[in-house]
Amino acid sequence: MSVEAIDARPPGLAQRDGDAGRLRLFLGGDVMLGRGIDQALAHPSPPELYEPWVKDAREYLRLAELANGPIPVPLDPPYVWGDALDVLARFAPDLRIVNLETAITQSDRPWPGKSIHYRMHPDNVDCLLAARPDCCVLANNHVLDWGEEGLAQTLDTLARAGVSTAGAGRDEDDAFAPAVLPHPRGRALVFACATADSGVLDEQAARGQRAGIALLPDCGAKSANRVIERIGAHRREDDFVVLSIHWGANWVRRVPDEHRVFARRLIDSGAVDAVHGHSSHHPLPIEIHRGKLVLYGCGDLVNDYEGIGAHGDLRSDLGCLHFADVDPFTRRCTALRIVPLQLRRFRLGAPDEDAVAWLAAAVADPADERAARLALHHGVLNWTATT
């Protein structure tokens, strides 16, 4: 997608008139509520870390305060989401899907040999629940930071809270099974997986009766066919299918060609209606392929990176709220709205003009030959399908 700046006020965000036949999805990127954020909440985990550079999770809280000012510890559960809660209420999505890149556990056994371990104390789960997610994707390189015990407690905590999960499980079939999300016009299936290039270790893969991640070795044709086969075993004719995938390295500047081929192959097969990609800590270009939405990289939605040095001009402080309207009959994307918010003092709030301009350039896709346009309306990026 390319971006066109248009100085016009967007349609009323709360208005859903004429949208009765549409399914509206909220697709969020990486939600990282562990480490520094967990320390700022009411029930922090033990602060010990096993990183080569930081040994105490409270250091991330201190760095954030040095960067942007004091944080009102202990935080109320909704605090981190800040303005995002009002935006979510105004857009009123039918379904809310995020990638939860934090184990929710009291396990004190970190995965051996891994340098970064994210966890949030189970008593802090109300922080996550404040955003009312319908599905937390767990196919990523941090949900097993605290071993199988940490994964089991994460699954149990979310199940008790009524939140569906996909992408990790107690065995291989469980890990690859979809989250089934009813909505007023039918149901959506969320399948989730990760690829090895995202940092998930081979020994963390769910295989047979072993708990773990729904892991693909690569984005080749064999992996795509494996996903298509899994989807075919669950999908009904009228289902809307989202593939949520954790892929690629952090801090990349372009979408790998193999990711494009993989996403298009799945859409062309008729198995997948939207691709929800994540792993890069910043947003990547967006594509509409045959009328179907492909988010190659949603970027981080919430993290504790404040005060950490930037990676050149790549920004991880922008939490993007993606709202996609789809036709439940054709399963095509009819509109996309991206609302950027900026993380300061561990809270999502209004972004500055430079941040919005950077985002507009970041999501523009030079490979989109059809020149579909994202229009920038007072800080909201808008795309609407044309007939």
Peptide bond into 182 cis (omega under 30): no
pLDDT per residue over 169-214, tens digit each?
999 999 999 999 999 989 999 999 999 999 999 999 999 999 999 9
For the stretch 107-159, pLDDT in tens is 999 999 898 999 999 999 999 999 999 999 999 999 999 999 999 999 999 99
What pLDDT shows up at residue 194? 98
Q: For residue 195, give the nearest of 232, 243, 155 by alpha carbon.
A: 243
**pLDDT value at residue 312:** 72
Structural domains of the chain, count: 1
**What does the mean pLDDT of the chain come to?**
91
pLDDT tens across 38-75, in order?
A: 999 999 999 999 999 899 999 999 999 999 999 999 99
pLDDT at 166 over 50: yes
Residue 364: pLDDT band (50, 70, 90) is confident
Element of type H or E holding 26: strand 23-31
* Residue 305 pLDDT: 93
Please state, as a whole number, how many other Cβ atoms lie within 10 Å of the Cβ of residue 58: 16
Tell me the C-alpha distance between 97 and 46, whole Å.
29
Chain mean position to CA 260: 18
Beta bridge pairs of residue 340: 320
Q: What pLDDT score was predicted for residue 386?
A: 67
Give the CATH number for residue 33: 3.60.21.10
| 20 pLDDT higher than 50 | yes
| pLDDT value for 4 | 46
For residues 97 and 322, give the distance between their C-alpha atoms in angstroms, rounded to a whole number. 10
Q: CA–CA separation, 326 vs 196, rounded Å?
A: 30
* Secondary-structure breakdown of the chain: helix, strand, coil percentages, each rounded to the nearest 5: 25, 30, 45
Structure tokens at 288: 């509409």
Average pLDDT over residues 347-369: 81
pLDDT of residue 379: 80
* Domain extent for 299: 2-384
Higher pLDDT, 249 or 50: 50
Question: pLDDT value at position 202?
Answer: 96
Helix, strand or coil, per DSSP, at residue 130: coil
Q: Say which residues have a Cβ less than 8 Å from residue 376's Cβ, sequence separation at least 6.
A: 3, 4, 5, 6, 356, 360, 382
**From CA 309, how far away is CA 320, in angstroms rounded?**
21
- pLDDT band of 19, cuts 50, 70, 90: low
Report pTM. Answer: 0.93
